[in-house]
Amino acid sequence: MIETAKRVLQIEADAVLALKSRIDGAFSVAVKMILDCQGKVVVTGMGKSGLICQKIAATMASTGTPTFFLHPAEGIHGDLGMLSKGDVVIAISYSGETEEVSRILPVIKRMGLPLISVSGNPQSTLGIAGDVHLDISVAEEACPLGLAPTASTTATLAMGDALAVALLDERGFKAEDFALFHPGGALGKKLLLRVEDLMHIAQDVPLVPMGTLLREALFEITSKQLGVTGITDAQGNLVGVFTDGDLRRVMEQGLDSLQQPIDAVMSVSPKRILRKNLAAKALRTMEDHSITSLFVFDDQESLIPVGIIHLHDLLKSGVV
């Protein structure tokens, strides 16, 4: 069993590597056809190729190329109405002779839609019909009977990924763009949630003025339940912070230490974050400095805090 599995992986790996020599002018033409597309990209294929088509369509759609899958059998029974002027069609059939795919080719041609044919035989019906042809032929299938599509579907999938990533790169597609299409996932949260979406504001921000006795500042720390308070000057500028960790160190000096003003024991030059920054950046800053909260500001020049964000807020939101 182990030897069989290794043989399968080797055959499929070889099939994918063989595609490298076929990434040529035809591939560039196919990419340009899609970039110039004024409508949508329609991917069509039957059987196992159809399943690969669905994955290719999903990958392209999530990386900035509006794409959908058209089942060719459903197409000849009315779903060709999905096609419209300005679309580009990618038709996939390893043999290039799949009946259902062949039957929709005249309609594609009659509508004047650019056709990218993907097959293992450039001289097949599909290969000849395409405005450009991408060769996905393989030396052998991983199936010992040479029947079940294995290496050929792997090669097709890899070619689809090559197209999708080349398009992504040409469009200048960024991680933030990707996140817009994945708002529900962990990546979307990391790339979409901003500090201002999670921060505590107004009366929930723990702040005390300079000169406040430490014992009085403790009420602010405990009531706001964030384990920290900021210290402000007469203008409301943040000049320091004091955490429950600082309290433990001060308490080692005895209870009398609670009678001193908090600005005598505060930490100066507190770390800060801007409200428009991504929540993920706040997390990185906390990790880099081994702290659990950050005061939030409107911009780099501002000294007056508008909020505070805590590690627990990031945990609850799913950013972590």
Between the CA of residue 277 and those of 248, 253, 281, what are the distances in Å? Answer: 32, 39, 7
Global confidence as pTM? 0.65
SS3 track for 51-114: HHHHHHHHHHHHCCCCEEEECHHHHCCCHHHHCCCCCEEEEECCCCCCHHHHHHHHHHHHCCCC
- When the candidates are 1.20.1530.20, 3.40.720.10, 3.40.190.10, 3.10.580.10, the CATH number that belongs to 195-317 is 3.10.580.10
Distance CA(75)–CA(87), nearest Å, equals: 15
CATH H-level superfamily of 2-173: Glucose-6-phosphate isomerase like protein; domain 1 (3.40.50.10490)
The strand pairing partners of 115, in sequence order, are 89
Domain-wise residue ranges, the chain: 2-173, 195-317
Mean pLDDT by 10 residues, the chain (320 residues): 95 96 96 95 96 96 91 91 94 97 95 97 96 96 86 96 94 70 62 88 94 90 92 94 86 75 89 92 92 94 94 84
For the chain, how far is it from start to end, CA to CA, in angstroms?
40
pLDDT number for residue 6 = 96
For residue 139, what are its two tokens? 């030396």
pLDDT confidence of residue 178: 66
**Distance between CA atoms of 191 and 171, rounded to whole angstroms?**
19
Residues 6+ apart with CB under 8 A from 131: 33, 114, 115, 116
